[in-house]
Amino acid sequence: MLRKRSPLIICGAFIFVAWNVVLIFVLMKRPSTQGSLDSPDEPGNTGDGAGGSQFGNIMNEVMRVANAFESELDSQKKILLQIQSHWAIWENKGGVTAAKPKSQAEHSAPAVIPILVIACNRVTVKRCLDKLIEHRPAAELYPIIVSQDCGHAETSDMIASYGSQLTHIKQPDLSDISVPPQHKKFQGYYKISRHYRWALNQVFNTFSYSSVVVVEDDLEVAPDFFEYFRALHPILKSDPTLWCVSAWNDNGREGFVDPGKASQLYRTDFFPGLGWMLTKDLWAELEPKWPASFWDDWMRHPDQRRDRSCIRPEISRTLTFGRKGVSLGQFYDKYLRFIKLNSEFVPFMKMDLSYLEKKKYDESFVKEVYGAPVVTVEDLQSGKLSGSGPFRVQYSSPDGFKTLARNLGVMDDLKSGVPRAGYRGVVSFLSRGKRVYLAPPAGWSQYDPSWS
């Protein structure tokens, strides 16, 4: 196809040049519409009276020809740019990558990344919205869409009070959902899943955005929340081994994260949620099989994850303040209320994040984890270990993992065999100021979904 079309493009470029040569010749030779133009230097042309009028006609004609010439050149320039664009496309199709001019890359329009706030019946959504608006660098780059379910009037009024600072949409289907008898008490989870499906369809199919950051109405965001997602947006778009970027660290409690490494990012096989970015392409994959309930655990199943990972931070960029909800405070009192919210602005856009590329990351990660000395929980708790680590605590069974996790103070549940915040089965955290890797034996190859 490239060989057949290339001569056509060359021919088009030749015709373009020839046309402009003819055009210049015609415009330069075109006679005046007001008769012959006498030279202002001829006898009798003194610049007054008729002579002045003739000189003015000359100048008017020159300006008219110049304007026509400029207009035609502008039109032809557009044609040439189209030819140039098609030429680049044919080159790329033929296996030749055309270099993008630096100036074009520098001046390309930045991506618009909308924030979708999932809301229901909590007027405390005001805390979430206030922080989003406070830290938002530009409304046009980060439009806020609040999708409300439940039909709660007071919450609706609160959202509407923000006026043009956000877009307020309402889930139209507020009916009860028919659920299995054993799931009667889980009706709320079914409604949440239905709402997510509707809201994400609005963002991608009605508003036609290409990516979105999803935030629940009980989340407060960090000062560099937008910077974080902006910097990771192109990585998510280009890396097929990733399927989300999350602002959340499941083990991000005070004392379990390194305050000196606010810029450190990790790959994780566990879907964290709680402030996460996905693309339209991923939604096109997930939407046809979207579950009736428990959508977040469904996301953690191997059939959805498909060996892809998410990016997560050392220190969370979101904090949940919603103890009350359909989960009835599950994990909140023991874990979630102690999550540390990042307070230091990290300029991620200026940083080299290439270390997150899978091959590079895996090589470094495996080397560090399995190069660390194996220690016991008792060794860590005795205070006799010198240095800041890293140290490795090893497990080889689901019960072994849960026992060690509980003793070390990190979350002990497994979803389809994947530990929270884990990567390649490894959970990274601080314990008494020392970096610890809770890890399976060397040679790990895959998760066992029965470990749940």
The beta-strand segments (E) located in 149-217 are 167-170, 211-216
pLDDT-wise least confident of 39-43, 134-138, 161-165, 253-257: 39-43
Whether pLDDT at 47 is above 50: no
Q: What percent of the chain has pLDDT over 90?
A: 72
- Please write the tens of the pLDDT for every residue from 393-413: 999 999 999 999 999 999 999
Residue 239 annotated among the catalytic residues of the structure: no
With H, G, I as helix, E, B as strand and everything else as coil, classify residue 41. Answer: coil
Among 334, 368, 187, 141, smallest CA distance to 264 is for 368
Instruction: Name the β-bridge partners of 392.
Output: 374, 437
DSSP letter (8 states) at residue 450: T
> What CATH code is assigned to 115-356?
3.90.550.10
**Across the chain, what does the average pLDDT equal?**
84
pTM: 0.76
Q: Tokens 């304007």 sit at which residue?
A: 67
Residue-wise pLDDT for 294-311, tens only, equals 999 999 999 999 999 999
DSSP string spanning 346-383?
--GGGS--GGGSHHHHHHHHHHHHHHSPB--HHHHHHT
Residue 329 is predicted with a pLDDT of 60
CB atoms within 10 A of CB 125: 24
> Is the CATH number 3.40.605.10 carried by domain 370-452?
no
Report which of residues 20 and 32 the model is more confident about.
Answer: 20
Q: Residue 332 — pLDDT band, cuts 50, 70, 90?
A: confident
Say what the pLDDT of residue 96 is: 35
Length of the chain: 452
The most distant pair of C-alpha atoms in the chain lies apart, rounded to whole Å, by 113
- Token readout for 238 is 């280009």
Residue 194 has which token pair?
Answer: 């239905």
Please tell me the predicted confidence (pLDDT) of residue 282.
Answer: 98
Parallel/antiparallel/unpaired status of strands 309-313 and 242-246: parallel
Instruction: Check residues 327 and 40 and name the one with the higher pLDDT.
Output: 327
Note the pLDDT tens digit of each residue in 48-69: 444 445 545 544 554 554 455 4
- Annotated catalytic residue: which of 239, 258, 281, 296? 296
Report the DSSP beta bridge partners of residue 430.
435
Q: What is the pLDDT of residue 336?
A: 86
Crossing angle of helices 2-29 and 49-93, rounded to 10°: 180
For 88-110, what is each residue's pLDDT tens digit?
Answer: 333 333 333 333 443 343 457 99
Instruction: Find out whether 403 and 452 touch, Cβ atoms under 8 Å.
Output: no
**Buried-exposed string 312-344: b where 16+ CB fall within 10 A, e elsewhere:** bbbbbbbbbebeebeeeeeebeebbeebbbbee
Q: What is the pLDDT of residues 192-219, one digit of tens each?
A: 999 999 999 999 999 999 999 999 999 9
Exposure b/e, 159-179, CB count within 10 A at least 16 = b: beebeeebbbbebeeeeebeb
**pLDDT value at position 414?**
98
Is the pLDDT at 27 greater than 90? The verdict is no
CB-based contacts of 413, cutoff 8 Å, min separation 6: 402, 419, 420
β-strand pairing of 144-148 with 434-439: unpaired
Could you tell me if 412 and 401 are in contact, meaning their C-beta atoms sit under 8 angstroms apart?
Answer: yes
User: 131-180, pLDDT tens digit by residue?
Assistant: 999 999 999 999 999 999 999 999 999 999 999 999 999 999 999 999 99
Q: What percent of the chain has pLDDT over 70?
A: 74
- The yes-or-no verdict on residue 447 having pLDDT over 60 is yes
The two counts, helices (H) then strands (E), for the chain are 13, 15
